[in-house]
Amino acid sequence: MPQRPFRYDRHFTVEQANRMLPLIRAIVEDICSLAAEIQQKQQRLGRLEERSGFGRLYDEERSLVIEQLEQDMNRLEEYLQELHQLGVEFKGWEGLVDFPAILHGREVFLCWKLGEPEVQHWHDLDAGFAGRRKLQLPSANENAAQSC
């Protein structure tokens, strides 16, 4: 019986994912920081628009905030595109990242969250964060036995 094709072209081992973490971590930190700035500017814009009835007094500041928001949104899109080009998926503003992988012959995601020291979890493609399971990695003794 032919095996069905995988959804993703590129798959990572746990070791490959962990080697990429310094770069992934830096990009995700930038994304999360920028997202917080965007949220603050959106709130500021909302307050300025509430005052729009006061004539031109706030028009210049409002225009400046809109321009900054557009620049920030473009930068955010660049960060997300950079992750995509690396072959990983950004899954949430909490700093969630999924690495496509093959585990026991099945296509799954290796799952990492900002703040975690390394990739230690996985989940099925359709399970999401709630379906995370701890990776069962072979011990050093098992690795030594397998390499003989």
Q: How many domains, in total, are found in the chain?
A: 1
Asked whether 7 and 125 are in contact (CB, 8 A), the reply is yes
58-104 per-position pLDDT tens digit = 778 888 999 999 999 999 999 999 999 999 999 999 999 999 999 99
Handedness of CA 74, 118, 130, 12 (dihedral sign): positive
Please check whether residue 103 lies inside any domain of the structure: yes
Handedness of CA 101, 122, 112, 34 (dihedral sign): positive
Please check whether residue 7 lies inside any domain of the structure: no
Please check whether residue 1 lies inside any domain of the structure: no
Which of 6-15, 28-37, 51-60 has the least mean pLDDT?
51-60
pTM for the whole structure: 0.81
Q: Which is nearest to 37 in space by CA: 75, 78, 85, 84?
A: 75
Please check whether residue 8 lies inside any domain of the structure: no
Q: What range defines the domain where residue 36 resides?
A: 14-147
